[in-house]
Amino acid sequence: PATGGLQVTGRIDREALPLRLHPNISLIVRVEDSPSGGHTSEMQITIIINDINDNSPDCSRYSFRREVNENTPAGILLDLRNYCEDIDVDPSNNQFNFTGLSGFGSNNFALESTVSGRLMMTESIDLENSANPGVEVYSLTVRVQDNAYPHYSSKYPFYISFDIFLCYIIYIYIRIKPVNEFFPVFSNISYEFNIPEITKVGSSIGRVNARDKDWPPSVITYSIVAGGSTRDYTSIFWISPTKGDVKILARLDYETTQKHFLTVQASDQEKTATVSVTVNVLEVNDEEPVCSPNFYSFQIPVSLAVGTNINGFRIQCQDRDSDPRSFRYFINEGNVNNHFTFSPSAGSNISRLILASRFDYESGLDTNWIYRLRIYVTDDNLLSARDRATHLIKTGTVTLSIRVIPNPTTVITTTPGFTVVTEKENLYSASAWYVPFIITVSSLLLLGLLGYLGLLLATWLRTHCPPALRADSTARKDVFTMYIFCSVEKTKPKKEVVVTMTKLNTVFDGEARDPVTGKMYEFNTRSGARRWKKSNELLQPVPVKQGTASASDYSGQGMDRAEAPSKKEPSEKRREKTTETQLAAKPSAGQSEQPGQAEI
């Protein structure tokens, strides 16, 4: 106040309101020449606030994450200027730019210009390209710096201070998403597996393999889409979905199918590829010779000549996987003293039974009268002795029962024996408790059903018989008799009956006074009918009318019913006489009749 020096007492913020809109400050200064009230003078001072670069660029985000598909064409990925600003008012102070793009893989990216702040991808990124290291995530950094000279240090902790500039670091993470571009490719154009027909079920017979060129490598799954079926099985092969191992699910048979053709598909969930697989079934001697007949029984005389084809017997054999010349025949059991042999013994599928030596029972050399021969038929005739030790040989069997019939003079030596008799007896088992229960319940249900059917029959007879039969049912208790009677009654002819009916008008033959109204009324002594009496009206009887009616008789007692109405009871006769007497006394004119009538 004494010197008139004008000072700033607080920091002035040009960017704050109202200075941001009106940067001028107006003051009025008063000068006084005496503190006690002398002369004064006032002057206006206008202060213009100039802007300085006291604010650094500020970004709303300092970390960005973007995803881009591989092989995306070059173009703009991110506009950084939309997220950063400098609040200084003077355009010369709020200018900033973006520089210093760096980081791993930054050669694939660039800034369009330092002013625009647009991050661009310079070329398409192919993860399968050998020039690329196969990196899926790129980490980049961009520096945001102020162009004007800073007068104050920034209040934000994350900045880099140079001699004349303030700058910030923006971190950008770009992930390259792999794209499924390639189809799976099998390692072979086709596959062929050779497998013996006796291979065990569940064994692996081979493996297929497929890959695609995508990076990272796609997960390949395998499946059989065609082939591999037989008459008995829809599919006899299985493939591992992840490894491609092919296994058999059923026994292979060379004699049925020599080759199986499969179509195997490889898929990476989006793209598929197929390959043909051929399975060659290798023949193995796994079939036994089958001979016909395989059992036979016959009798021969003891004097049969040597070299005779016994009873013309021969066996015929076949093998599905062997040549007919591969059969050998030999008797393994029961050929005591070698009396029997087969001719030919090998090299044919047909052989005959021959008596090789005569029987000698007189000297005691032969004691058996019954020979049970067990013949083995093998399929190794075409193999050498060395190959027979290593190759698989199958054997068929035939059983023969031969009884030798002695001459009439031959004494048969008998040996004691025993007979086994097996007896079976049905015993009740405690575990079969339900058997009598089921029988009892079934019997009760059957009896109930029969009773119900009898009730239905009786109801039907009662419904279809006439009333006369039911009235006389005490004399016919037998159901069968009742049924016959119903049939006879229905066949009788109908008869016509004349019934006489009498209709009389209501006759008011009495009169009395009503105790309530005091009026006179007339009444009928039989029916109780009433009417008010007129002063000039007399009692008038109504003449009797007769009529006839016809009815049909439905039973043998129809005539009795027709005659019953014609016989009047004594009381009816008295009523008719009274009516006739009143008719005789009735005046001939000036009388009125009441319309009320009653039928008798």
Give the start-to-end residue ranges of the domains of the chain. 58-177, 185-282, 290-405
CATH 2.60.40.60 fits 290-405, yes or no: yes
In this prediction, residue 159 carries a pLDDT of 44
Token pair of 560 as six digits = 């009795």
184 neighbors 273 (Cβ within 8 angstroms): yes
Over the chain (600 residues), what is each successive 10-residue block's mean pLDDT?
87 86 90 80 91 83 88 85 86 84 83 86 79 75 81 40 61 87 90 90 92 85 88 85 92 87 91 93 83 89 89 87 84 90 88 90 88 89 71 83 80 56 59 81 94 92 67 46 48 53 65 85 82 66 40 37 39 43 40 36
CA distance 26 to 43: 11
In this prediction, residue 160 carries a pLDDT of 46
pTM (2 d.p.)? 0.47
CA distance 117 to 83: 10
Position of tokens 């006074």?
513
If residue 450 lies in a helix (H) or strand (E), which one and from where to where? helix 434-464
Residues whose CB falls within 8 Å of the CB of residue 249, separated by 6 or more in sequence, listed in order: 201, 202, 233, 235, 236, 237, 238
96 torsion bin: left (phi>0), alpha (psi -120 to 50), beta (else): beta
In this prediction, residue 151 carries a pLDDT of 42
In this prediction, residue 553 carries a pLDDT of 38
Position of tokens 């089921």?
438
In this prediction, residue 157 carries a pLDDT of 38
Q: What is the dihedral of CA 98, 102, 104, 107, to 10 degrees?
A: 80
**Strands 137-146 and 166-177, how do they pair?**
antiparallel
In this prediction, residue 287 carries a pLDDT of 80
CATH topology (fold) of 185-282: Immunoglobulin-like (2.60.40)
In this prediction, residue 514 carries a pLDDT of 86
If residue 378 lies in a helix (H) or strand (E), which one and from where to where? strand 370-378
- What is the per-residue burial (b if ≥16 Cβ within 10 Å, else e) of 338-349? ebbbbeeebebb
* CA 600 to each of CA 258, 266, 451, 509, 544: distance values in angstroms, whole numbers, following the listed order: 110, 108, 49, 17, 11
290-405 matches 185-282 in CATH topology? yes
SS3 480: helix
117 torsion bin: left (phi>0), alpha (psi -120 to 50), beta (else): left
- What is the per-residue burial (b if ≥16 Cβ within 10 Å, else e) of 376-395? ebbbbbebeeeeeeeeebbe
In this prediction, residue 363 carries a pLDDT of 87
In this prediction, residue 238 carries a pLDDT of 93
- CATH number for the domain formed by residue range(s) 58-177: 2.60.40.60
CA distance 358 to 335: 13
